[in-house]
Amino acid sequence: MKLEKPDPRIGAIATDVDVRSLSDADWNHLYAAWLEGIVLVVRGQTLSMEEFLAYSRRFGRLKPHRVRRTRHAQHPELTVMGVGTRKPDGSVDRAIYNRGGGWHTDSPWDTEICKGTQLYALAIPSYGGDTLFASMYEAYDALPDGLKARIDGLNAEHVYGGRARKGNDLLEPEDRDLPPAVHPVVRVHEETGRKSLYANPTHILRIQGLGDSESDRLVAELTEHMVNTPAQYRHKWSAGDIVIWDNRCALHAATGGYPIEEPRIHWRVTIMQ
């Protein structure tokens, strides 16, 4: 197994490894590389659905995604991404095509913290469709001391789609108005002990204890720091890639821009603590 780092602050890429037959030593090496790199890419895999799920469970408990329509019928903990990009009338279903666009952390609207998200690439378009990742460790570390003191101890409410309820039409009606989940704006990572920002630009509703205008201004100020951190990695997908990222300390965004007539299909799992 070979491991390389595209940037010392974010990213780890593994090659010459088969995740179906990892030794304990290689597994521990991969897991450590993921914790350090925030995003772990394993290239060149050929997996059945059961093999992908078995590998994913090594990272933690799998939980079905709130968007039910793209859950796999036999394996509800697995979501099939990229299917149904066209409506019955032939027009583009933008909710599906644009899913994952905009900087965000997965599942902050859940009362449980999402440990990681893992994707396995089945079909990749000829261009476009990259995924961006940013380190929220580095975003927090770079904050002015005054801003760090200002946000210390603050909590934020998150709902699916945030204030704009972006993508809310993907949810079943009974899932659209669930109460917000509350998480600290500054999180301490359960395994590394490092502090990171956790003020999801897409799914945040408000910061508790502040008036609406003040909350909006603070969210906008934090968002500038989060999305403009130089500690970023851009993943250009190939079929057979497995990518897992740490939702406890990262933002990500799908870039879109791929041909609608070409498939971009991934298997996806949500991994909990």
Q: Is the pLDDT of residue 161 over 70?
A: yes
DSSP reduced 3-state for 178: coil
Residue 211: the pLDDT is 96
Domains of the chain: residue spans and CATH: 2-272 (3.60.130.10)
Please say whether the beta carbons of 158 and 180 come within 8 A: yes
Residue range 35-60, pLDDT digits in tens:
999 999 999 999 999 999 999 999 99
DSSP reduced 3-state for 74: coil
* Token pair belonging to 65: 């995604």
Q: Is the pLDDT of residue 271 over 90?
A: yes
User: pLDDT band for position 164 (50/70/90)?
Assistant: low
Residue range 181-216, pLDDT digits in tens:
999 999 999 999 999 999 988 899 999 999 999 999
Regarding predicted confidence, which is higher, 199 or 169?
Answer: 199
Question: 222, 182, 181: which is closest to 201 by C-alpha?
Answer: 222
Residue 169: the pLDDT is 67
According to DSSP, the β-strands at 39-42 and 12-15 are: parallel
Q: How far apart are CA 223 and CA 106, in angstroms?
A: 16
Query: The whole model's pTM is what?
Result: 0.93
The sign of the CA dihedral 94, 100, 103, 104 is positive
